Structure 1
Amino acid sequence: MTAPDDNDDSRPRAASVFDVAKVAGVSHQTVSRVLNDHPSLRDATRQKVLAAMRELNYRPNAAARALSSSRSRMIGILSTSSGEYGPASSVAAVETAARARGYSVTIANADGLDPRSIDEAVNHLANLSAEGLVVVAPQTQVLVALSELSIGIPFVTLQAADSDAPGARQFDQVVGARLATAHLVALGHRRIGHIAGPSEWLDASQRLAGFREELAVHGLDAGVVETGDWSAASGYRAATELISRGVSAIFVGNDQMALGAVSAATAAYLDVPGDLSIVGFDDVPEAAFYRPPLTTVRQDLAEAGRRAVALLLGESDAAPSVHPELIVRASTAPPRSGHTALE
């Protein structure tokens, strides 16, 4: 068998700008203006060129467009935890919002606890001529590292430690945690435990802060707290300890750990919610199908992605919080009269 000839003319030739111009009945300069989204074009002309592109299955050379326009029309996403539901969904939301505005997206993953890894990921995106970055990185170390870098391109974050940071508080984790805790207090629970996520995560520390703030409002003590790693297995271990300490309800830092907490209650021969109420956080797609269906806190990840991209592209000069919503299902109920989890 002979190797294919690079000059073999038998293969179909990809359509060019000149082919599109011929079919559309315009100049090749007009096609270039459509590709570069030039504001002076009449809409009818633009639609005629776009129709010709579809007819010819024309695919513009992105690199050539970037060189000719001095703009990459590419947004970089710095991600450090794409495996968890919240960050992974946030990345998808940002990508969808960017593509809707005609931008491509490149994702660079980094170790959120390693400043050098973060630096390498940011420089990788900068070297690809990203016009801006959206940071989906819930670890405190990432914001510290970014504050020490001179990256020279704009960025916004979906998590921020204070209100002065770009894109600050896209998600109001404190409010979400207070909603969950207030729900348990309103049901009559007074000894409430919390399973927190890893302490280096901003999401975890802010949810813990909201939990404690809401308990203080009602004159309750600081609660009983165990720490997990976001996994169902860690939720099982933490809930087993909380059950042994006599809680009647648990607010869990995410839905995966909440699944482990439900399993721990079953292993301890406790009914959920008859003996133990459980609230999660995130409202993963499976939460409605837990046994029992899980009461949890929902965040509008798609809206947060849209707002982050709008802020980055200068379409908005503020990034107000995306308010969470409590979704009440069958895993919470008033405590039995005089009953604690130890009885």
Structure 2
Amino acid sequence: MTSRKTRLSYGVKSAPYGFLLPAGILFALFFALPIGYAIWLSLHKVEVKGLGLGRGARSEVWAGLANYTDAVTDSELLHGALRILGYGAIVVPVMLGLALVFALMLDADRVRLAPFTRLAIFLPYAIPGVVAAMMWGFLYLPDVSPFYFLLDELGLPQPDLLDGGPLYGAMANIAVWGGTGFNMIVIYTALRAIPAEVYEAARLDGCSQFQIALRVKIPMVAPSLVLTAFFSIIATLQVFNEPTTLKPLTNALSTTWSPLMRVYQDAFVKGDIYSAAATAVLIAVVTLVLSFGFLRAANSRTKQEEAR
């Protein structure tokens, strides 16, 4: 009897681990193992003997941190990182600002056609990034864009959106158009979770709708704003679809415009998967540091405000 109770107790205690086992196996096979293999590749390189022909002419040898040193000192990669910072400085504030404004408007008491409006704002997020970039690239081309035709008919100037400074705005527009809807839904969901009693108390204190939005709604959805900013920063640092899709349309975009484009060039054009792995690991580390640094700063600020 005692042994049976012991087995039952052991079975109950081990049940959670049994439920977690499938997820753990999937995590190890499709997340941890690829990351480990990428790190392993980044620490090796190919050594070529003679002309590189024949059996054994190419061998994989230990490189240590040489690939990382080359990546850190690579001027093209550095310039790509600076371009991404400029691109992110446009995308993240504009996208989150629009998402917050749309969420507040949809949460208003007298808004009309709210379900249709939510769907219309969210719908661009459902369109694949490559398709969205191709569509906007068509609209940016002066020879085929209907907007340029209208500008020509009206005698207005026709700016080249795929060259120089306007290029950042053109690509940022694609990201903002596609990502605002998702962030809006996250913030709007947080707004709907605020108890109605909070609004009633604010109205009794004489607050207007604008004051309620500014002093009640925005502070209470601050965690959602931090979460959307966190996701937006990660997506911005890993931008690849927009510049790669627009590259055939303009000479202003190089094949290494963004760090991920450099990884693609090293891995699939030059065939140097070892340098590509080192660059990819560096991008992952920088993304991790910046993202969690932002989270820590946001949490620290929240704790300071709560202490007041």
- Superposed pair shares fold, TM > 0.5: no
TM-score tier, shorter chain, comes to: under 0.3
Task: Indicate the structure with greater strand content.
Answer: 1
Task: Indicate the structure with greater helix content.
Answer: 2
